[in-house]
Amino acid sequence: MFPGGGRIKVDVGDRENGHGLSKKFVQRAITESFNLVITVDCGISNAREVKMLADAGIDTIVTDHHLPAEEIPPAIAVIDAHQQGDSYPNRHLAGVGVAFKLICALYERLGRPVPYELLDLVALGTIADLVPLAEGPEIENRALVRKGFSLIMQGKGSSLGLQVLANRLSINVKRISARDIGYFIAPKLNAANRAGDPKVAFLLLTTRDKKRAEYLTEILLDYNKDREIAQHDLIAQAEQQLAASGANPRDEGIVVLSGENWNEGILGLAASSLAERYHVPAIVISEGSRVSRASCRSVEGFDMSECLSAHSDLLLRYGGHKMAAGFSLESDRLPQLRERLREYIAQQPVRAQVTSELIDAQVGAREIDIRFYTNLRSLSPYGPGNPSPILLMCDSVFEKMTFVGAGRQHLKGKLIQNGVSLPFIAFRMANHIDLFENGPVGVVFRAGFDDWRGSVQASVIDLVSCD
């Protein structure tokens, strides 16, 4: 980042001390006599901590993409397009995108060429952060991802560790996709923060030593196994608690669950699972002896960030977006928060948001070949604002089905229409195998690629009637 030199120290926020500028980090910065602190994807809500740094004679540059609090940090520069009066057109750059803009400005100031080789990491962070990829000014995000993917495919990116991790996961980097990042690579990197040491992910992405990258990759995969076990246990506890309460989340408009010392690294995953299952906002809280911490996930039509702002008088810290947020509060305030949340929901009822999918085209099995898939890929990268096309194939039957994946929760086999077969994968649908056996049916799917077979495969979304 600093072609002009300088001693650089990196601190990766953890769940114990918080993701923003923690008091612990501020104390470290003062003790070690830092000259400058630069935040990445955080800091916009840390006015008090930035002031502490300023009072100690330490400059701060804040780069963030979260919504600002009422008080803007007293930094020497605050780079966040959500600030009032900011004229930058793309208000939805990912945190990594904002940081890259700072890097570009720094290089320009030093008369150096733009470090485009860093765009592999920009693409990674942009996909993982689920920012819009195509709609007005946000199309910049799409351009950053396309260029980053091009570098990865050519093996010209800055991160050796990213290449090593992708290879270890049997991902064909010559055909890297947003799905590869979002469903396979990013969760492994995030596992370091959820179930281990978050610095491991940073070290992997920045190492230039292949053997070290391979070693760090194996640590990440071990963390991910621990994460999967912890996630399964916590979601089971949450579901049991919900069943015991007799509450109906769809009637109440929200899910709020808590447990003593629940794994804070898994709270967000549990909240996502509950919001997806019941189609209402979900808040999952880990109760501590003095301080409790929570992760929140929302649904379309309910602004979680606005909800937390309305309860800020009860919270120690909070932040996030409309769809995902988090907070901490003193544990003895939990009953009051629950009551206030009930009143808040009653004033603006949240209807259960049943997800609907718009079918883009009806196709036949004979059309689904490599050329068809290549044409679809020309529209990528897919993501928020540019979802991958949803296809419908009628009069289809399934054969040679097998259970695959962890816990045997996925289905795999052959999808057949008019004598033409197509491989299929149906994620998390093993419990509904009886529906797959009652053909012929209409199959709603997305076209993907099976690198093992070297062929196009259908990723099944739903089964419907074509009558």
C-alpha span between 321 and 67 (Å, rounded): 7
Residues 209 and 301 in one domain: no
Q: Are residues 309 and 366 in the same domain?
A: no
In a domain, 353, yes or no: no
Same domain, yes or no: 177 and 91: yes
Say yes or no: 37 and 153 in one domain. Answer: yes
For 19, counting Cβ atoms within 10 Å of its Cβ (0-12 exposed, 13-18 middle, 19+ buried), the class is: middle
Q: What phi-psi label fits residue 281: left (phi over 0), alpha (psi between -120 and 50 degrees) or beta? A: beta
CATH number, domain containing residue 367:
2.40.50.140
Looking at the fold, whether 179 and 212 belong to one and the same domain comes out as yes
Same domain, 122 and 189: yes
Q: Check residue 187 and report its DSSP letter.
A: H
Residues 278 and 131 in one domain: no
**14 within a domain of the structure (yes/no):** no
> Is the same domain home to 320 and 258?
yes
Distance CA(17)–CA(21), nearest Å, equals 9
* Nearest CA among 315, 188, 338, 325 for reference residue 257: 338
Tens-binned pLDDT, residue by residue, of the chain (467 aa):
566 667 888 999 877 666 678 889 999 999 999 999 999 999 998 999 999 999 999 999 999 999 888 899 999 999 999 999 999 999 999 999 999 999 999 999 989 999 999 999 999 999 999 898 987 888 999 999 999 999 999 999 999 999 999 999 999 999 999 999 999 999 999 999 888 999 999 999 999 999 999 999 999 999 999 999 999 899 999 989 988 988 888 888 899 999 998 998 899 999 998 998 888 999 999 999 999 999 999 988 889 989 999 999 999 988 878 888 999 999 999 999 999 998 998 887 665 455 566 899 999 999 999 999 999 988 889 988 888 999 999 999 999 989 987 778 889 999 999 999 999 999 888 888 888 988 799 999 999 888 777 789 999 999 988 87
Q: What is the pLDDT of residue 350?
A: 60
Amino acid 171: pLDDT: 93
Quick one: 342 and 366 in the same domain? no
Same domain, yes or no: 284 and 420: no
Domain boundary among 321, 347, 373: 347
Helix (H), strand (E) at residue 108? helix 95-109
pLDDT number for residue 431 = 84
Residue 60 maps to a domain: yes
Decide if 167 is inside a domain.
yes
Q: Is residue 68 part of a domain?
A: yes
In a domain, 231, yes or no: no
> How many domains are there within the chain?
3
Residues 131 and 260 grouped into a single domain: no
Question: What pTM was estimated for this model as a whole?
Answer: 0.84
Whether 172 is in a domain gets the answer yes
- Domain with 437, as residue range(s), is 361-464
Selection from 272, 315, 267, 316 nearest residue 295 by Cα: 267
Domain end, chosen from 316, 347, 378, is at 347
Does residue 189 contact residue 201 with C-beta atoms inside 8 Å?
Answer: yes
| Whether 114 and 201 share a structural domain | yes
Query: 457 near 422, Cβ under 8 Å?
Result: yes
Q: CATH number of the domain at 109, please.
A: 3.90.1640.30
In a domain, 354, yes or no: no
